[in-house]
Structure 1
Amino acid sequence: MVIRVRDHGGIAWINRMDSRMKFLFRLLFCAVAAFSAGCATRPPAKPAPVAKPAPAPLLLISIDGFRADYIQRGLSPTLAALAHEGVRAQAMQPSFPSLTFPNHYTIVTGLRPDHHGMVNNTMFDPALGEFSLSNRAAGADGRWWAQGTPIWETAGRQGLKTATMFWPGSEAPIHDYRPDHWLPYDGAMSPEQRVDTVLSWLDLPAGERPTFLTLYFDDVDHAGHGYGPDSRQVNESIAKVDAALAHLVDGLKQRGLLDRINLILVSDHGMASVPAKHNVMVDKLLPLNQVQVVSLGVLAGFNPKPGHDFAKIEAKLEKPQQHMQCWDKTRIPARLAYGKNPRVPQLVCLADVGWRVTTNEYVAKKLKKGDKLSLGEHGYDNADPTMQALFVARGPAFRQDTVLPAISNVDVYPLMIRLLDLTPVQNDGDAAALKGALKP
């Protein structure tokens, strides 16, 4: 039997075949055509969607007041080992002002203080009143923080579990949202206890376990303020925090997590020495009863009071002053990216490095109580070498034994967004700035 098949438009001519062979051939032809050309009576099933892989956990660690060059003192072997096994920047420049709350919130929002609204540790808002580090009620009021969106909110709203250990802002219901796990600040909680809490969160069942976590240490900052950055007490606090980091590393190893979790270690600012007598007594330069004193310290701020000639006061203080410089908020140098937010006082005075702006009354009260003036300060020009902060990163996403040039702290946010595979909110960071820290 000879069979010749020619196919044009799905029609076949079959010669010299009996009826049974023709029937069998037609069945075979239709089966092949349905498989290869889609001539089946129903469309082929769509492939099942591929599940998006979960990102590696990310732990963001802050060592408050850890100046960039402290790592070179040889007192933090665990931190040095993490840097050697990962990435270290020569320095990380804080945003201005180089203060605690403004920069912690910058790191987790990617916004400069002028944009996220935490413009100082001490502020005044006509609608909200006064804000300070000691005002726990204000710190827990989400309205103070609502100009920014912290990454724990972004991560949570996009399906990730989150946990924060004492990060500034995490006690407040920002936009009516809180981390899944958080604690109110307790300064008496030791570094090891803080580490143990973070490890306990990592031990939670899969459905409750956080993917984004924060951890906060404040010992180095406290010692720097009390005794100065070159003191024995600062060195001891560096070693104390490093011991807590060693405890963290051991805990991660025991859980098989050390090489599966991304760690980012930062500080918010550095620290400068300030002799006790280096005080600019601002009450000698302007009548304090004619202004609203918003803040004193390295960055002092003043608002006008009705019925007084504030322009005259500004004109006097904007002239060259010893050991400080003052500006109307509209004339602050553009490089500081500061002055447009309504919470920035109308007149700001920035002390020279190594000085503070205060009053005779404040100093007298401190001395009468038996307190000493701080011997270390921050808040100065964010370009000053003493204000530079720490950046170290280690984990499966990061290169090894890599040193980067100096970076800006607004760029940490887009890096974390990338590690967690999130859609970011508006921010001031550069997503490409830290590409060199990541593995290809």
Structure 2
Amino acid sequence: MLKIKYGVCLVVSTFFLLTESRVQAQSDTTQHIMVDRKKDPSQIKKPYVILISADGFRYDYAERYRAQHLIKLSQEGVQAKSMIPSFPSVTFPNHYSIVTGMYPSHHGLVNNSFLDENTGERYSMSAKAKVLEGKWYGGTPLWVLAEQHKMISANMFWVGSEAEIKGIRPTYYYDYTEKFSVGKRIEIIKDWLSLPEDKRPHLITFYLSEPDHTSHSYGPDAPQTEQAVKMIDSVVFQLTEAIKPLKLPVNYIFLSDHGMTAVDRDHPIATPKAIDTAKYIIASSGTLMDIHAKNKADILPLFQTLKNEEKDYKVYLKTEMPAHFHYNATDDRMNRIGDILLVPEWPKVFSSRKPGAGYHGFDPEKVKDMHATFFAWGPAFKKQLKIPSFENVNVYPLIANMLGLSYQEKIDGKLEVLKSILK
């Protein structure tokens, strides 16, 4: 097992063995392998892509907290001013937008928790049984696209990778767990890339739950968050060093799903009393209150009441959500967005108790702190290139192009946005 430099062994233990950021107390550490899969010979000479997400790694964290390895690696490749998350700027929708090229309202994961009106079922990122069901996931994730082209893929904890989507799972994947040490995670990725050519993955996704967890607990400005950022910095460096001796044409994309901001902890917004839970279902709250009316005749009366009481939040009908959210009735392909949406105005959040120190989920057009990081380096990328901010749905066509994977499905991302960063 690799030794982690920068004196982070204790830090790693703290963050990755005690954190329960996505799915509580998962203990299955078995690798799932589709043993009958073999790469088509036409894919063998393709490049390799490792897509790394550090949850909640805000666009300015690397510079702010002197993440020396990430700064150096990105300076050798591509640095974006920021990457703009989709709305709502929360974990599950945005991780899935990155790998499908679609806005949340189009791929179906419209929030971390939501109600499907067609079936009456509820989805939650903390409900393991739901997370494993492929019916919740629209679009064609990158690993499914790769496998459709008979290219091998491998996943470590990316949103959606545990479910069978379009009848396909990655060739190699793990159920989400925080029981692996960082050294073990790096060892697994190295082992994947050390496999014989016909079994070796060309697309690897790698999810890290920090610095999101720490930023939620202590806030984006806390020394604990600085420590979490530096730990991620060390993990990425150790991964690149472990892969280097394999002498493979590996390209790295380091990004995040969203940013993080400090909120008003002393004056949270209470759930409006006008919302009678006998008549309405609140599917989510926090930085977006999503309300479904059991009887659609009750939508307008509640909307008018809330509009009259509107303070520290904006009230919208789903039919009238501003276009830049891509989150209105026209966009809602799977009927999972509430009839009435309450969008708090930063730094306010909905909460029945004292909120945590850090939050995300706000409109990234209004709250820059929601912006995420995007760095890329490797043989396919231009060197020493800085690019402007762009939407995260554009990562999908970029990676598909790098790997020579064609797609027919209509997506929201456009190749021309990022094609110029390739050599």
Aligned residues of 2:394 and 2:417 also touching (Cα < 8 A): yes
More contact order relative to length (CA 8 Å, sep ≥ 6): 2
**TM superposition score normalised by structure 2:** 0.85
Tell me the residue number matched to 2:156.
165
Question: Deviation of residue 343 (structure 1)?
Answer: 0.1
Tell me, in whole angstroms, the C-alpha distance in 2 between the residues paired with 1:182 and 1:264. Answer: 19
Residue identity in the other structure for 1:438: L
Return the offset for 1:200: 1.4
Question: What is the SS of the residue equivalent to 1:354?
Answer: coil
Note if 1:437 corresponds to 2:414.
no
- Could you say which residue in structure 2 is the equivalent of 1:426? 410
Aligned mate of 1:138, from 126, 130, 141: 130
Asked if 1:374 corresponds to 2:356, the answer is: yes
2:268 equivalent to 1:284: no
Matching of residue 269 in structure 1 with residue 235 in structure 2: no
Equivalent position SS for 2:198: coil
**Cα deviations across residues 162-209 of structure 1 (Å, max 9, x unaligned)?**
001100000101122100000000023333322222111111121111
Check the 8 A contact 2:322/2:328 in 1, yes or no.
no
**Paired residue type of 2:283:** V
The worse-fitting range, judged by mean Cα deviation, of 74-83 and 381-390 is: 74-83
Gaps of 5+ in 2: 1-40
2:339 corresponds to which residue? 346
1:34-55 Cα shifts (integer Å, max 9, x gaps): xxxxxxxxxxxxxxxx967721
Moved more, 285-294 or 397-406: 285-294
In the superposition, relative to structure 1, how do residues 196 and 52 fare at CA in structure 2: closer, same or farther (>3 Å)?
Answer: closer
Task: Please report how far the alpha carbon of residue 436 of structure 1 lies from its aligned counterpart in structure 2 after TM superposition.
Answer: 2.3
Contact 2:65 2:229 in 1 (8 A): no
In the TM superposition, what are the counterparts of 1:290-439 in structure 2 within 5 Å?
290-306=279-295, 309-319=298-308, 321-340=310-329, 341=332, 342-359=335-352, 363=353, 373-383=355-365, 384-424=367-407, 425-439=409-423
Q: Distance in 1 between matches of 2:419 and 2:203?
A: 20
C-alpha distance in structure 1 between counterparts of 2:314 and 2:163, whole Å: 34
Q: For 1:186, which of 173, 177, 184 is the aligned residue?
A: 177
319-328 vs 378-387, which deviates more? 319-328
Q: CA deviation at 1:356?
A: 1.2
The answer to whether the Cα contact below 8 Å between 1:404 and 1:436 also exists between their aligned partners in 2 is: no
**What does residue 35 of structure 1 align with?**
none
SS in 1 for 2:52: strand
Superposed structure 1 runs of 4+ greater than 4 Å apart: 50-53
TM-score, structure 1 normalization = 0.82
2:350 is paired with a residue whose SS is: strand
Q: Which amino acid aligns with 1:374?
A: G
Counterpart check, 1:90 vs 2:72: no
Aligned length: 376
Compared CA separation, residues 56 and 149, structure 1 to 2 (3 A): same
Q: Distance in 1 between matches of 2:83 and 2:296?
A: 44
How many percent identity over aligned positions?
Answer: 36
State the SS of the aligned residue for 1:280. Answer: coil
3-state DSSP class of the match of 1:207? helix
Q: Is the 8 A contact 2:65 2:226 kept in 1?
A: no
Q: Which has the larger radius of gyration?
A: 1
CA distance in 1, matches of 2:296, 2:240: 60
Match of 1:357, as an amino acid? F
**Any conservation in 1 of the 2:105–2:327 contact (CA below 8 Å)?**
yes
**Structure 2 equivalent of residue 14 of structure 1:** none
